[in-house]
Amino acid sequence: MFYREAGQFKTTYQSDSALFPILQDKIGVLVGLAIFFLAIPLVATPYLFSAILIPFLIFSLAAIGLNILTGYAGQLSLGSAAFMAVGAFATYNFMLRIPGKPILVAFILGGISAALVGIAFGLPSLRIRGFYLAVTTLAMQFFVLWCLTKIPWFTNYSPSGVIRAQQVVILGYVFDSQVSRYLLTLSIVSLMALMAKNMVRTNLGRSWMAIRDMDVAAEVIGFRPLQTKLTAFAISAFYCGVAGALFAYTYLGTVEPEAYSLDLSFRILFMIIIGGMGSILGSFLGAAFMTLLPIGLNMFVHHFSLPMTLASNLELMTFGSLIIFFLIVEPHGLARLWQIGKEKLRLWPFPY
Amino acid sequence: MSGSSKLDTDEVILDMRNISLSFGGVKSLIDVSFDLKKHEVRAIIGPNGAGKSSMINVINGIYRPQKGEIIYHGKSRKSMHPYYAASTGIARTFQNIALFRGMSVLDNIMTGRNLKMSSSMLMQALYWGPVQKNEAKHRRKAEEIIDFLEIQHIRKTPVNRLAYGLQKRVELGRALAAEPEILLLDEPMAGMNVEEKQDMCRFILDVNDQLGTTIVLIEHDMSIVMELSDRVLVLDHGSKIADGGPVEVRNDPQVIKAYLGSN
Amino acid sequence: MKALLEETKNQVFPSLLLEQAQVRGNKPAFRLKEFGIWQTWTWAEIAQEVRLLACGLASLGYQRGMNLAIIGNNHPRLYGAMLAAQSLGGVPVPLYQDAPVVDIAYALQNADIQFALAEDQEQVDKLLDIRRDNELVGTIIYEDPKGLQDYRDAGLHAYDHLLQLGCDYDQAHPGFFEDQIAACQPDDISIMLYTSGTTGRPKGVCLSHRAMVSAGAGGVGFDNLTDKENVLSYLPMAWAGDHFFSYAQALVGGFTVNCPESPDTVMLDLREIAPTYYFAPPRIFEGMLTTVMIRMEDASWIKRKMFHYFMAVAKRAGIDILDGKPAPLLDRIQYAIGRIVVFGPLKDVLGLSRIRVAYTAGAAIGPDLFRFYRSIGVNLKQFYGATETCAYVCMQPDGEVRSNSVGVPAPGVEVKISERGEVIVRSVSMLREYYKNSEATAEVLDEDGYFHTGDAGVFDADGHLQIIDRVADLGRTRSGDLFAPNYIENKLKFFSYIKEAVTFGDGLDHIYAFVNIDMEAVGNWAERRGLPYSGYTDLAGKPQVYELIAECLAQANQDLSRETTMAGAQIKRFLILHKELDPDDGELTRTRKVRRRFIAEKYKVLLDALIQGKDAQYVETQVVFEDGREGMVAATLQLADVKTFPVLKEAA
Amino acid sequence: MNVIFFIEVLIGGLLSGVMYAMVALGFVLIYKASGVFNFAQGAMVFFAAATCLGISETLGISIWWAILPTILVMIALGLATERIVLRPLVNQNEITLFMATIGLTFFLEGLVQALWGSHAKALDLGIEDIPLSYVLDNYNIMISQFDLISAAVCALLVTVLTLLFSHTKTGRALRAVADDHQAALAVGIPLQRVWGVVWAVAGIVALVAGLLWGARNGVQFALTFTALKALPVLILGGFTSVPGAIVGGLIIGASEKLAEVYVGPLVGGGIEGWFPYVLAMLFLLVRPEGLFGEKLIRRV
């Protein structure tokens, strides 16, 4: 109903394939960004930053990563958390062992390290499909965590295996306040989300989707299966890696390998299932949902003063049933629901 | 428009020699040889399970024959490889539609351009100027094909929402987008109604004589084969039983027998 | 607006083009939806293209005084070709692209066409087999090369090749183009438009630059239009209306002219472009409304409620608000809300949201239909004109818009009603002559220079012209009642269920009607009643449908009974035709006017049966199918009576 | 090195492998019948054990008596799962089904802890985990009596199942379904019913596994990870073969123990967690269809 598309005609392919071809969408996005960059920092409380906003952003990033691999390239992975761990610990070690290295560079290097691991464990994807592949990613999950716990070098011989992330300093500015960390995270996430969006709407993205939808046809039309899958693994891992680094540096501050357990992998998988496979927007929606739901449940439990343990079990059950629910009812998740709603608005007042 | 008149050259561009293929004992092709002349429409016919699709799958390297050689671009090889086939200008459609179901018509056709696109991952991530221009350039190509196949109205529709006939058309479009030298069509008209078939025939002929594409065509409808093809290869139970012009093939007693025997 | 008329007084179209290229060189002049986007020609670009085109034509031997046939769907390059021909002092002759080959052949013959520009293979093929059996169209230029590669026929040139020739020729003869334009006089013939006259052979109407330009200037001035306007040109280029809106006015006012991707994407393209200045014959507005209503039927009940609620508001206050007249505050508020939730989106989806002025003409428009669009805020107006008058006679000024009149005489036009009740017109914007047909010319142009429109009309109290009917069609029943067939037919056509109607009554005891039902509306009506039907003929034969139509006719009779002049002419009996009237069968003109006499002849059996009061009648008819094949359709039609009403004198 | 010790480790490994095999068995059954890779098998093991224990505690009856009602519960669970989760997802691709079972896993984990509490509990079957005195005395090799018994139980279970599937109508139906769903449907085999049965049986298998594991390691959340242990087993044995599951289980059990004992120390121990996977992965590259799985040809 708020869409006024008449007269928004395109005279170039660039404008036709623009990120947001519809004016109203552009405006909407800009408003959204304004809210996140300007409004929220003014109003939000430290709790809001540390408990909701920052984790939400980080999970979104990880979800984008997994979505690239699973949602777009169709390769199921249960090892996102492992990629995150690699990213985090690599960043830590780069910072540690190369003094005075800019943190952003360290983040990138962390991502790259994750990407390399991703490529290594992506290799089997040429020969094995479906959940066989999932199993190899599971193997990686365990293997990586084992390495990080068993090889003290990674944790700089910290007895507890816990590492303390170095201070985040960019061009002399120290990101110690929650707001500053939030803004840093937000900037990185927005930028990488934009890049992801670009990748999935160009040839790269088409190659992934082609492999996902019909690998034989994709090969016949000239996409190299292995190369395509490996790029997906690499980029996915890179995104997860950076997310993992942020997880350590702007969210927790101190982490142990166990923070990146299989459970985290599953949660990220749930995010994209609920949010929407093959949709960048979905990654955000899913992350938001998965961040808010537990909080909601906690409130609920508090409100009826039920035993605290129930909250966590309730959480597990809700997640579980939601996954099943979405897989059955709306396999494309919240993103699709959003899309349907949008279509309705565009056609308003007509039904079709 | 069709007919041997346009066979300006007799240059053989693909020569399949004594191809034999089997799956775990099941013989699918037995010592089949045939050649492909530049710019011709080559039909492969035969009863179900005669090995027609297998032959196409051998040509573009999805199956590797156990015996035989393939002479292509002057080089002799044991078997093709899909990527090699694609990159040297062999495109195809599939018997059961093999579109990328999650994508729009336009994107499906754009995938056909991928071998002609070249920009690095990072460039695409940043959507750098060159990438945009590149995308636009190929979009134009894709649009020309859309225009050619008269599917402007469904340009941005997800393919899985399309009617069967249109999906077939889009698949042809995807193959054409690769500007192939050889086009393999595996029953492009299966399950179509009369007018859809007529359209498809028109497109195939136009492709053949406007773009000069060499076409290998699997088709059941004899009348269509007669109308379209310059030469016909007849397979039955994996072996070649006839090869020649449409008319002579139709009158070949063995062929008649095979067809009557088959159903 | 006087000023505009003044400064364009001595202009010819090519000079207007150069001026536009000067003034707003890099503003878009033409757009065409092609390959998924709107390809754009700026004024400078189109001017340059016209230059090359003209030179190209010249190099092929095209000369002053020659005619250039132009045939194809609306296309910037086809408009460009008109300008090119005009620059060389030639006369472009646009032809109806969907006309049967015989008609085209006749036009080519009549205008002895040597040069033709065809859009695509389809048109080229037509021209080729026409020229097979005579000496016409030695040179054919085609715009779209698709499928034409291996045509080897003589004198066949690709458009791009022509541009190439033009380029060379231009270099060889510098200044040639300018000289040619300089040599064009305002009183030269600028365009020749063939009228598909309701009777007899089409006639080539010759209109001078001066006539067309001043009409354009008048139109632009009348609604003070600017170079911001966008128009969608989708009606046949051969039709005066399109030439007036998309050519004359566009070149005078510097509009952007947008051509759709293909005839079947017009509605989509309309939405994308969202023109600010729009022209459409009533049937198109009607079609839009029908689809709106049908789509709303399928909407959720809450949406339907909301829709109907706000439409009621619009009905109450919409038109006054549009005309800037006072309206109750409450209504204004409700209307404002309605604008957000219904009217706005509705107009947007239809592509009417940016319209400043919309015109309709060519046929009478139903009051309800007319009100609908105005009430949702589309400034829809009527005008009156004929090909012979550059489609420029009367227009409705803002704020004085009504459904039953066609407005006041346009600037520079003098309109009178002759003693026999015919509308006669005098202005600059009139035909020079019918091409090579002086007696026909003499029939319509009297010695005082008045053009006889052939329409019967009256001026109402505040000087608005009302068109009743064709003078020729006016008749009287045996009982002496005035019988205006078109007037009645229009009344009938205002019912959404009735697509076409033909009435007979001149010299008869009563009025009888043939009806074509509207397939979409009636079909929908039938489905909602679970009434199965196989096709038009089947549906048309259903007794339920007969009842439905009978009601409509009865209602029309009731209206008639209230009108002094028409009260006597109520419909007595009717039938629903078993086939849709079709231009290809000669039953309608290209502009979808009914050929009453022709139909009376063709379906004599049916008419007689009606008169004799039979209940059913078997009939066989020749038809031409989509693909040009001919065949027979046969059916037995029911004939039915209609309720008539006593004449209410006091209502007068 | 010490042969006795080696044999001890080997046998210990093999015996614990038997337990993996048991879990793997549950996977195979379901995968064979419905093409679903049931990630929730481990959760079912935990669920079964906890429920059995819970019942016996709440009703104050012996664990053995609690088994019967638990069996009913497991059957109910199996049928419910088929009805609520699988039937709506029929004809979905295997990944979707796989993810659905992950969801199921979470649900069960939550449910079981909500019902019976999250803390670990001991489960006593009354079988002491002591070395067999006979073997110890004569050959000086330690073999856990408990392991031996559980091995026996497992063997018994397998034989029962085999008989069941070869001699009952449902069993034959199941095999038909496993071979070709469409064909099975064509000849009028009620897929849904077969699946229901299979899930119920899988539930019972889970119960047995749960009791044995529970008795050994205590009934706790960690039980769900036994399922993950079963994955490499399946990859080795192939998803569709019962003998495969057994052999695979033995190999994994033995190899991981040996690796732990002989390789572990060199790399800081704890390699049990991932060694089987890496083994399986390498194996995958060589033979994706597993030891006993049938080779799949990509038809176009």
Residue B14's pLDDT band (cuts 50, 70, 90): very high
Q: Decide: C253 and C215 in contact? Cβ < 8 Å.
A: no
- Domain segments of chain A as ranges: 44-260
**Residue C160 burial by Cβ neighbours in a 10 Å radius (0-12, 13-18, 19+):** exposed
pLDDT at residue D172 in the model: 78
Q: Given this model, what pLDDT does residue B146 score?
A: 94
Instruction: Identify all chain A residues contacting D108, using CB atoms and an 8 Å cutoff.
Output: 320
List the subunits that have 3+ CB pairs under 8 angstroms with A: B, C, D
Residue A237 scores a pLDDT above 70: yes
Rounded to the nearest integer, the mean pLDDT of chain A is 92
Structure confidence at residue A309 (pLDDT): 78
Q: Is the dihedral of CA D96, D99, D105, D111 positive or negative?
A: negative
Does pLDDT of A334 surpass 80?
yes
Residue from the list B143, B153, B210 with its beta carbon closest to the beta carbon of C35:
B143
Task: Give the pTM.
Answer: 0.87
Q: Report yes or no for ipTM above 0.85.
A: no
pLDDT of residue A72: 96
Q: Which CATH architecture has domain B1-89+180-263?
A: 3-Layer(aba) Sandwich (3.40)
Domain positions in chain B: 1-89+180-263, 99-178
| pLDDT the model gives residue D24 | 85
- Residues of chain D short of pLDDT 70, as ranges, are 1, 178-179, 181, 186, 268-270, 273, 288-300
Closest CA to C250 of C79, C36, C430: C79
CB contact under 8 A, A6 and C347: yes
Looking at the predicted structure, is the pLDDT value of residue B6 above 60? no
Task: Give residue-wise pLDDT tens across range A99-155.
Answer: 888 999 999 999 999 999 999 988 888 777 777 788 788 888 988 998 898 888 998
- Nearest CB to A349; choose among C38, C303, C353: C303
Identify the structural domains of chain C with CATH numbers, from first to last. Answer: 2-276 (3.40.50.12780), 282-353+355-470 (3.40.50.12780), 475-651 (3.30.300.30)
Find out whether A210 and A223 touch, Cβ atoms under 8 Å: yes
* B133 lies within 8 A of chain C by CB: no
For A73-107, write each residue's pLDDT tens digit: 999 999 999 999 999 999 999 999 998 889 999 99
The answer, yes or no, to whether residue C652 has pLDDT greater than 50, is no
- Give the distance, in angstroms, between the CA of residue A72 and the centroid of all CA atoms in the same chain: 13
Lowest mean pLDDT among B4-8, C243-247, C341-345, D165-169: B4-8
Q: How confident is the model at residue C564 (pLDDT cuts 50, 70, 90)?
A: low
Averaged pLDDT, C219-231: 94
Non-local CB neighbours of C284 within 8 Å, separated by 6+ positions: none
Distance in Å, alpha carbon of C214 to nearest chain B alpha carbon: 40
DSSP track, chain B: --SGGG-----EEEEEEEEEEEETTEEEEEEEEEEEETT-EEEEE-STTSSHHHHHHHHTTSS--SEEEEEETTEEES---HHHHHHTTEEEE-SS----TTSBHHHHHHHTTGGG----HHHHHHT-HHHHHHHHHHHHHHHHHHHHTT-GGGTTSBGGGS-HHHHHHHHHHHHHHT--SEEEEESTTTT--HHHHHHHHHHHHHHHHHS--EEEEE-S-HHHHHHH-SEEEEEETTEEEEEE-HHHHHH-HHHHHHHHHH-
Query: Which band of pLDDT confidence, cut at 50, 70 and 90, is reported for residue B218?
Result: very high
Confidence of residue C26 (pLDDT cuts 50, 70, 90): very high
Q: B23, D297: Cβ pair inside 8 Å?
A: yes
Cross-chain residue pair C265–B143, CB shorter than 8 Å: no
Per-residue pLDDT at D138: 74
Can you tell me the mean pLDDT for A173-201?
A: 94
Percentages (nearest 5) of helix, strand, coil residues in chain C: 40, 20, 35
> Positive or negative CA dihedral for B130, B134, B140, B146?
negative
Of the residues C348, C350, C352, the best mutation for testing chain A's interface (the one with the most A CB atoms within 10 Å of its CB) is C348
pLDDT surpassing 80 at residue C217: yes
Contact across the interface for C353 and A4, Cβ inside 8 Å: yes
**Range in B249-253, C380-384, D146-150 the model is least confident about:** D146-150
Identity at C56, one-letter amino acid code: G
CA atoms of D9 and D260, how far apart (whole Å): 10
Query: Any idea what the Cα angle at residue D68 is, between residues D64 and D73, rounded to 5°?
Result: 130
Residue C38 contacts A where some CB pair is shorter than 8 Å: yes
Nearest CA in chain A to D282: A124
Average pLDDT, rounded, for chain C = 90
Average model confidence (pLDDT) across chain B: 89
Place of tokens 């700026």: C42
Q: Which CATH architecture has domain D3-286?
A: Orthogonal Bundle (1.10)
Tokens for A274? 């609920």
**B153 touching C, CB under 8 A?**
yes
Say yes or no: A12 contacts chain C, CB-CB below 8 A.
yes
d(CA A238, CA A68): 11
Q: What is the predicted pLDDT for the residue at B4?
A: 41
- Over residues A42-79, the pLDDT tens digits come to 999 999 999 999 999 999 999 999 999 999 999 999 99
Query: Which chains reach chain B with 3 or more Cβ–Cβ distances below 8 angstroms?
Result: A, C, D
Distance from CA of A299 to the nearest CA of B (A): 39
Rounded Cα distance, C474 and A314, in Å: 85
In angstroms, the CA B117 to CA C540 distance is 57
Q: Are C and D touching by the rule of 3+ CB pairs within 8 Å?
A: no
Q: In this predicted structure, what is the pLDDT of residue D167?
A: 80
Q: Measuring CA to CA, how many Å separate C549 from each of C384, C497, C613, D290? A: 30, 7, 18, 75
- Element (H or E) spanning D239, and its range? none
Contact residues, chain B, for A204 at CB < 8 Å: 121, 124-125
CB–CB of C149 and B155 under 8 A? no
Q: Which of C379, C372, C370 is nearest to C404 (CA)?
A: C370
- Measure in Å the smallest separation between the Cα of B261 and chain A Cα atoms: 34
Query: Domain ranges in chain D?
Result: 3-286
Q: Residue C451: its pLDDT value, please?
A: 94
Q: What digits encode the pLDDT tens for the residues C176-198?
A: 999 999 999 999 999 999 986 65
Tell me which of A323 and D146 has the higher pLDDT: A323
Nearest neighbour of B125 by CB, restricted to A199, A212, A221: A199
